[in-house]
Structure formats: C-alpha cells, structure tokens
Structure 1
C-alpha cells in the first residue's frame, strides 16, 4: 500500500486513521460501548483508552502495509466525527484472493443508510484496487438488520456455522455469506 486510501461517498469519507487521530477512535468506542457490545467480543478497558486506540491504529496501519487487513474508519465529510468502521480482514492471497468483512456503526447513525453507502464503497474497493475474488461477511441470526444490509449489498447465504465466534462472552452461531466478483 503505497499511497493513503481515501474513499468518498455522498455522506462520508472513508480511510485508515492516523495515530494522531486516536482521540477520534476513542470517542467513537466510548460513545458506542453499550450499543456495540452485543455484536463484538468482550473488550478490556484498554480498548477504550487513548493508548489502546493508538495501539489499534498502529496495528491496523501495519496490517494494511503487510496486506493482511484494512481497518477503515467511516467519517463525517469534515472528518471531525467517526460514524462507523469496517475492516477487510483475514486477507488470503494466492488461489483464494479473499477476505472477511466486519463492520459496525454508531448508534446515532444507525438506520439512515450510511453503512450501506460505506460498505458499497468497501466492496467496490475490495474488487477493484485490492483485486479480491471473494468477500465474506458473517452475522448472528438474531441480527436481522445486518442480514438485510448484506442482502442489499448482493451477499448470498452460503452456510450456517454453529458456535462460530465468541461474541460478548458467548459462542454465537453465524450465518455465512459471501459476494463473489462478477466474471469479466
């Protein structure tokens, strides 16, 4: 990754955060702690600290440099507030050319179509500059909103995994979905 990646949508700017922007990430995490908890792994207190956010940003920048993962922040157009995030994670190259997509949105921005806008850009970036063949995204069956979002984006159900990920302290079942790049 030689130059900084920046995507724009009608209502957002999407990019990797710089370490100096750790306060932006910390504020998003603290404000959405309860909102995101049912959908995420258990978090330690350091996850919500400025130092923990700096470390997360540094690790994300290193992952992007190494083509292992791309943790994007979804920001307001003036970049003063973080709206949400998504990560193109678990990158596998070679004959697979795939990644997993994970995402979250702040409580104040939920239900406004902003995440659809951001993930539409994410998928185009994944199939374009990153040259993936497949993007996989999984969701808990009770997260119907996430299921509808992925369906709108063109993801297709491929399976069901019992006790797939440990979320909020419990092993949760997940619906497995993927979107495959069109032949061309």
Structure 2
C-alpha cells in the first residue's frame, strides 16, 4: 500500500502494564465521541475551545487524516490508550512538533476520559511513549507544558521524571483564555525521579 512516504512504516503499537497504545482508526469513532462527550466539562478547562462540530464523524475523519499525514511526514505520532484488561478507550497521548536537525525534540500532549483519570493509566502510557521517543525515534529531548493549576498533570510529569524548566507566560489559549504554562522537559538518559 502506498502511504505517501518513500519507506512504508508500520503503525506503532506500544504495550504497558495497564494500557495498549495504538494509532487511532476510523473504527474508534463511536468510543472516542462517547468518551470525549461525557468528559467535556472535565476536559474543557485544559484544552482549546472545542469547535461546534468537534464530536461529529466528519470532524473525526479530518482529525484522522491530520494524524496520518503528520505521522507519514515524521512530524507527530498520535496514540489512543486502551485498557489492557478490557480494550476500553481511556484517552490519548501524542508526540507532536517533532523537530530534527540540531534539536531532536518533541512535545508530549495527553488527555484522559474523566472516569479513567487518576488510576495510573496515563503514567503507564508515558512509560511506553518515553522509550519509544528516545530509542525508536532517537529524540534527545521531550517537552510538556501544563497549566500551573492542573495539579494532576504536574504530579504526573514529575513522577515520570520530567523537570520543570520555567514558566511560559500567556503561552496557549486554553478554554478561551491565554494561560500561563509550566514548561517541563526530560532529556534522554536521565533517570526518572519518582515522588
């Protein structure tokens, strides 16, 4: 099958103790729309304002095309998290803004359905994505940004060995407001400091 790149790459599948990560597919639409819909209030304070057609099948198809295009161009890899136990969709995690050349870096972003939050699944997902980024993609640096009041995200990143590097003022427009974000980073070869 021609995928738009010179070399065909199989879509990655990562497995942790609690989760299985794979790239989203068209068959995931119903589970994705249901989980995002029921978690809207929970997620909206940490995300950009949702488009009016955010949860439609058409919008989801556009999202899949963007994911696949960015992957084929080597710019991003997006995963859905599924429970290893019962294959239920839990959330998503991505490596985006992949920079090569002198940087060899990427940005990690993630979301979790409200009913699955706080149970260790995202930490398990990070334990899969970090080695994938450093070993398979051969990146040198991973970055993540989070709003200072998002205590769960702060704890997650610090537990996963990310170090806070500073505060970026008015960094991203989240929930309709320009918000400050902490910048976190983890460098290849650093041992995680769990707290």
Fold equivalence (TM over 0.5): yes
- What's 1:71 paired with? 78
Matched, 1:145 2:152: yes
Q: Provide the secondary structure at the position in 1 that maps to 2:131.
A: helix
Aligned-residue offset at 1:182: 1.2
**Does 2:63 correspond to 1:34?**
no
Secondary structure at the aligned position of 2:101 is classed as coil
Aligned to 1:129: 136
CA displacement, residues 125-173 of structure 1 (integer Å, 9 cap, x when unaligned): 1111111100000111101111111001000111111110000000000
Q: Which runs of 4+ in 1 moved over 3 A?
A: none
TM-score for the superposition, normalised by structure 1? 0.94
Is 1:174 matched with 2:174? no
* CA contact 2:93–2:111 (8 Å) conserved in 1: yes
Matched, 1:155 2:188: no
Gaps of 5+ in 2: 1-7, 191-195
| Cα separation, 1, equivalents of 2:98 and 2:183 | 17
CA deviation map 1:110-131 (0-9, x unaligned): 1111110011111111111111
When the two structures are aligned, how many residues end up with a matched partner? 183
- After TM superposition, the score normalised by the length of structure 2 is 0.89
Picking from 4, 12, 16, the partner of 2:19 is: 12
The aligned counterpart of 2:3 is none
CA distance in 2, matches of 1:27, 1:80: 15
Q: Quick one: structure 1 residues 7 and 155, their matched pair in 2 at CA, closer, same or farther if it must change by over 3 Å? A: same
Please give the secondary structure, in 2, of the residue aligned with 1:171: strand
Specify the alignment match of 1:94 in structure 2. 101
In the alignment, the residues of structure 1 paired with residue 171 and residue 109 of structure 2 have an alpha-carbon distance, to the nearest angstrom, of 14
User: Normalized per residue, which structure has more helix?
Assistant: 1
Q: CA RMSD in A?
A: 1.5
1:43 to 2:50 alignment:
yes
C-alpha separation in 2, matches of 1:157 and 1:77: 31
Distance 2:166 2:157 in 1: 14
How far apart, CA to CA, are the structure 2 residues paired with 1:49 and 1:56? 11
What is the CA-CA distance between 1:29 and the residue it aligns to?
1.7
SS at match of 1:174: strand
